[in-house]
């Protein structure tokens, strides 16, 4: 009969301590080998610890709820005779296992040390590096591992990465030329945010839609007369969009109902007129905000649009640039659209789409005239707004735009 | 084509250039009747006479100075410094005069001199017959430094150096003289100065070197390809000043793992500059820290064979460094 001391086992590679959540035995109990003796909670796992020996518990050395370091003695057991040698062997095996474990742990120490080349490739190809197995020093993922992964990506199911034998086969294989299959693009970052917002807006908001046609011949003439001089003096374009934003801001002042948002069964009417404008680059869409548009001149608005578009193009938009919008104006005309149904920028009440300006034959005083026409499309949250108020708002915008001239709308 | 040793290729380059242009002449210690201590000018005295193959006093400053003067008057001198270790008395002539002449005279004068000098260790030459001197001259705009790694390169580069309108320092590895042999085309081949040479394409690691070390790198790259399936990308700098930055950047980006090898002392060496170029341009392509394999930072190559072996970068050290980098 010998008395053995059992210690707190290591319940995970990086675990250094464990909290005894419950003793399943008490002093004097007779236990069998592998019988659970205590429950241990670590920051990684919650586990039952089995007995390594059959015998009688002599003494518990730690209390429930006590946190003890790995390797600290936790109880003593009087081992049944005849098994002793076996058990010594057991200990050896266990220690051997532990040594092996710590060795593998050591050899994986570089697994999450990524070189600039690896990070660059991972970013370019949207690779989740945790799915790769490194062949470099101490498990480091090398640039070549990533390249091999990319080469094999189309032929290998991602889950199979977990399978070691396949991995080993892979690394010794010649890179397989990629087969022409559909490209999978993981949805992350901005694209994911756009998706979430769109689904939310489209499912939560009952959208209604209307469109009016506006004669902007005067605006076109006015802007064309001023644009070259403006560009020369200010260094950026005098865009039509600035005039539209100006008109919308004036109309919102008149019809504050549209400058509002739905918030938990309340409608908040905003005092400030902050217009969100949609600007995109090749792959992403941003909706930065121009604050207090009603207080800005045409020049001021054009400048803000120019600055935000520049920032969006160079990925320099900050969170502050995106916040506080109360109504959205979308310049869909820039890509040739003549009619579109915008999705409301949640939780705003409406979105106005400015379509392409198109020269059209129009009847004025029973005679045909060539006029510059533009469609304005409004999507509205029917919980907040109705057709009547929106119709009036749109008519007001139309009225402002059709009467634009140097007198009504000075640029400076 | 015939198989030539490194030194035969150099001798042939000078012979052909002297036959091509009678303004080309040689001056240096023992270059005439003796044919050079390494026999680099063997037979040239007999062929071209004492006025074109001139034995000089033991005065390096004068060898280079006289050469510069002759060059200014339209001659094309090839000055031989018997050992690169002894080039130091001529440093003022090379750096202050030859390198700066065109710039200083606003293009009125130039100095198309070629200065040949045997460098390098591993030949039991001890302190004064083993040094690598290139780093001393490698920040002097106006000067070019060429260090060939094979007989064919030696011939083509030396001919280009002789025809170059400005001063060129031409360092020849003395151990390479009779160690390296290869087929050298009999044509009038010129190899451009200022351009590095992609010797071998590979995908695992990039090794950049020059001179004799490049030869070792090439041999080991072949060994590793068969023994360990390590695929090595090898770039020969050929011209160590000014460096072919574009080629260096491209080679580094090829694998992202770069080993630089020189026989010179490590700190402040040519490969330190190569490393800086890579660090400046290739951060996001690097997959491992840039590795430099070089001689230790001690004053000179020892004479004792054991210590010489310890000092000298050799094939074993290069091989180990290449394997380590491949495994990283």
Chain A environment of B203 (Cβ under 8 Å): 144
For residue A129, the enclosing domain spans 116-172
Helix (H, G, I), strand (E, B), or coil: what is residue B167? coil
CB-CB contact of B327 with B146 (8 Å): no
Q: Report yes or no on A382 lying in a domain.
A: yes
Is the same domain home to A56 and A145?
no
**Percent of chain B topping pLDDT 70:** 100
Is the same domain home to A194 and A257?
yes
Q: For residue A64, give the CATH number of its domain.
A: 2.40.50.100
The dihedral formed by the CA atoms of B262, B265, B270 and B271, expressed in degrees to the nearest 10: 60
Q: Report yes or no on A166 lying in a domain.
A: yes
Is the same domain home to A194 and A301?
yes
Is the same domain home to A299 and A261?
yes
The dihedral formed by the CA atoms of B193, B199, B205 and B207, expressed in degrees to the nearest 10: -40
Task: List, by residue number, the catalytic residues of A.
Answer: 382, 386
3-class SS string, A103-145: HHHHHCCCCCCCCHHHHHHHHHCCCCHHHCCCCCHHHCCCHHH
**Percent of chain A topping pLDDT 90:** 30
Residue at which a domain ends, from A52, A75, A106? A106
Of B177, B162, B181, which is closest to residue B19 (Cα–Cα)? B162
Is the same domain home to A36 and A167?
no
Chain B residues whose C-beta sits inside 8 Å of any chain A C-beta: 203-204, 255-257, 283-288, 327-328
CB-CB contact of A293 with A301 (8 Å): yes
Q: For residue A223, give the CATH number of its domain.
A: 3.30.559.10
**Distance of residue B292 Cα from the nearest chain A Cα, in angstroms:** 18
Does the beta carbon of A146 lie under 8 angstroms from any beta carbon of chain B? no
Is the same domain home to A343 and A259?
yes
Of A269, A286, A280, which is closest to residue A327 (Cα–Cα)? A269
Residue B121 has pLDDT above 60, yes or no: yes
Is the same domain home to A166 and A243?
no
**Distance of residue B145 Cα from the nearest chain A Cα, in angstroms:** 33
Q: Report yes or no on A410 lying in a domain.
A: no
Mean pLDDT of B252-274: 97
Is the same domain home to A303 and A277?
yes
Does the beta carbon of A143 lie under 8 angstroms from any beta carbon of chain B? yes
Q: Report yes or no on A258 lying in a domain.
A: yes
Is the same domain home to A326 and A210?
yes
* Cα–Cα dist A50/A39, whole Å: 9
Count: domains in chain A: 3
CB-CB contact of A161 with A131 (8 Å): yes
A265 or B278: whose pLDDT is higher? B278
Q: Report yes or no on A409 lying in a domain.
A: no
Q: Report yes or no on A392 lying in a domain.
A: yes
- Residue A171 has a pLDDT of 45
- Residue A250 has a pLDDT of 92
Digit-coded pLDDT (tens) for B46-62: 999 999 999 999 999 99
Q: Please name the member of B283, B287, B327 whose beta carbon is closest to the beta carbon of A143.
A: B287
Q: Report yes or no on A58 lying in a domain.
A: yes
Which domains, from first to last, does chain B contain? 2-184 (3.40.50.970), 197-327 (3.40.50.920)
Q: Please name the member of B203, B287, B327 whose beta carbon is closest to the beta carbon of A117.
A: B287
A53-62, B92-101, B152-161: least confidently modelled range:
A53-62
Residue at which a domain ends, from A106, A126, A144? A106
Query: Would you call A143 and B257 a contact, using CB atoms and an 8 Å cutoff?
Result: yes
Q: Please name the member of A120, A137, A143 whose beta carbon is closest to the beta carbon of B327.
A: A137
Mean pLDDT of A227-235: 88
Task: List, by residue number, the catalytic residues of B.
Answer: 129
Does the beta carbon of A225 lie under 8 angstroms from any beta carbon of chain B? no
Band the pLDDT of A168: cuts 50, 70, 90.
Answer: very low
- Residue A84 has a pLDDT of 47
- Residue A188 has a pLDDT of 66
Q: Report yes or no on A180 lying in a domain.
A: no
Candidates B252, B256, B287, partner chain A, best to mutate (most A CBs within 10 A) = B287
* Cα–Cα dist B294/B132, whole Å: 11
Is the same domain home to A30 and A72?
yes
ipTM of the complex, rounded to two decimals: 0.76
CB-CB contact of A161 with A134 (8 Å): no
Is the same domain home to A243 and A147?
no
Residue at which a domain ends, from A106, A136, A163? A106
Is the same domain home to A135 and A193?
no
Q: Is the peptide bond before B46 cis (omega within 30 degrees of 0)?
A: no
Q: Is this structure's pTM higher than 0.80?
A: no
Tell me what percent of chain A is helix, strand and coil, each rounded to the nearest 5: 40, 25, 35
Positive or negative: CA dihedral A377, A379, A385, A388: positive
Residue A308 has pLDDT above 70, yes or no: yes
* Cα–Cα dist A47/A302, whole Å: 64
* Cα–Cα dist A302/A310, whole Å: 12
Q: Please name the member of A116, A119, A140 whose beta carbon is closest to the beta carbon of B328.
A: A140
Does the beta carbon of A144 lie under 8 angstroms from any beta carbon of chain B? yes
Digit-coded pLDDT (tens) for A309-344: 888 887 777 777 888 899 999 988 888 889 999 999
- Residue A166 has a pLDDT of 41
Beta partners for A59?
A76
Is A115 buried (19+), middle (13-18) or exposed (0-12) by CB count in 10 A?
Answer: buried
Give the pairing type, strands B205-209 and B232-236.
Answer: parallel
């Amino acid at each position: 009969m010998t008395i053995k001391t059992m210690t707190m086992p290591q319940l995970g590679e990086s675990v250094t301590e464990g909290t005894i959540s419950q003793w399943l035995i008490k002093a004097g109990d007779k236990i069998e080998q592998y019988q659970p003796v205590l429950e241990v909670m670590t920051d990684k796992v919650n586990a039952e610890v089995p007995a390594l020996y059959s015998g009688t518990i002599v003494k518990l050395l730690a209390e429930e709820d006590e946190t003890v370091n790995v390797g600290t003695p936790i109880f003593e057991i009087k081992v049944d005779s005849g098994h002793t040698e076996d058990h010594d062997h057991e200990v050896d095996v266990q220690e051997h296992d532990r040594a092996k474990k710590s060795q593998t742990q050591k050899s994986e120490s570089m697994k999450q040390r990524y070189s600039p080349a690896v990070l660059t490739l991972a970013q370019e190809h949207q690779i989740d590096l945790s799915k790769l197995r490194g062949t470099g020093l101490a498990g480091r993922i090398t640039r070549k591992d990533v390249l091999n992964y990319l080469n094999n990506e189309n032929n290998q199911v991602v889950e199979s990465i977990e399978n070691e034998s396949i991995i080993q086969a892979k690394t010794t294989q010649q890179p397989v030329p990629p087969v022409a299959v559909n490209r999978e693009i993981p949805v992350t970052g901005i694209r994911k945010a756009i998706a979430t917002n769109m689904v939310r807006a489209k499912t939560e908001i009952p959208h209604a839609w209307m469109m009016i046609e506006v004669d902007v011949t005067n605006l076109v003439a006015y802007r064309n007369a001023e644009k070259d001089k403006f560009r020369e003096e200010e260094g950026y374009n005098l865009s039509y969009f600035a005039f539209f934003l100006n008109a919308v801001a004036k109309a919102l002042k008149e019809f504050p109902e549209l400058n509002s948002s739905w918030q938990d069964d309340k409608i908040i009417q905003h005092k400030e007129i902050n217009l969100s404008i949609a600007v995109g680059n090749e792959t992403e869409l941003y909706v930065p905000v121009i604050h207090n548009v009603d207080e800005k001149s045409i020049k001021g608005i054009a400048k803000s649009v120019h600055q935000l578009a520049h920032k969006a193009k160079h990925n320099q938009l900050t969170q502050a640039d995106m916040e506080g919008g109360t109504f959205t104006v979308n310049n869909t005309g820039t890509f040739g659209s003549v009619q579109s149904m915008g999705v409301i920028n949640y939780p705003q009440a409406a979105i106005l789409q400015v379509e392409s300006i198109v020269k059209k034959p129009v009847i004025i005083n029973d005679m045909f005239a060539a006029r510059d026409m533009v469609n304005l499309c409004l999507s509205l949250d029917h919980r907040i707004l109705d057709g009547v108020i929106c119709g009036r708002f749109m008519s007001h915008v139309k009225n402002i735009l059709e009467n634009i001239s140097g007198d009504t709308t000075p640029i400076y | 084509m015939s198989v030539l040793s490194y030194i035969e290729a150099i001798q042939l380059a000078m012979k052909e250039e002297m036959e091509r242009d009678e303004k080309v002449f040689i001056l240096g210690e023992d270059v005439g009747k003796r044919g050079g201590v390494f026999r680099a000018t063997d037979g040239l005295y007999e062929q071209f006479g004492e006025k074109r193959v001139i034995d000089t006093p033991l005065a390096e400053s004068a060898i280079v100075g006289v050469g510069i003067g002759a060059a200014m008057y339209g001659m094309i001198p090839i000055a031989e410094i018997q050992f690169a270790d002894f080039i130091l008395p001529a440093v003022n002539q090379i750096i202050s005069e030859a390198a700066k002449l065109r710039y200083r005279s606003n293009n009125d004068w130039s100095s198309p001199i070629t200065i040949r000098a045997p460098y390098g260790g591993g030949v039991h030459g001890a302190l004064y017959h083993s040094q690598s001197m290139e780093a001393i001259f490698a920040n002097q705009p106006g000067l070019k430094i060429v260090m060939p790694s094979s007989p064919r390169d030696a011939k083509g580069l030396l001919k280009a150096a002789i025809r170059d309108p400005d001063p060129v320092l031409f360092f020849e590895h003395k151990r390479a003289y009779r160690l390296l042999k290869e087929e050298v085309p009999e044509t009038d081949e010129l190899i451009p100065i200022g351009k590095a040479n992609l010797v071998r394409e590979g995908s695992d690691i990039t090794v950049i070197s020059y001179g004799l070390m490049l030869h070792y790198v090439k041999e080991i790259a072949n060994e590793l390809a068969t023994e360990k399936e390590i695929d090595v990308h090898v770039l020969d700098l050929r011209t160590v000043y000014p460096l072919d930055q574009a080629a260096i950047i491209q080679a580094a980006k090829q694998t992202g793992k770069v080993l630089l090898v020189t026989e010179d002392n490590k700190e402040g060496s040519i490969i330190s500059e190569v490393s800086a170029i890579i660090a400046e341009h290739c951060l996001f392509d690097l997959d491992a820290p840039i590795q430099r394999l070089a001689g230790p930072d001690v004053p000179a190559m020892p004479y004792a064979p054991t210590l010489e072996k310890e000092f000298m970068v050799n094939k074993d050290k290069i091989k180990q460094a290449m394997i380590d980098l491949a495994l990283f």
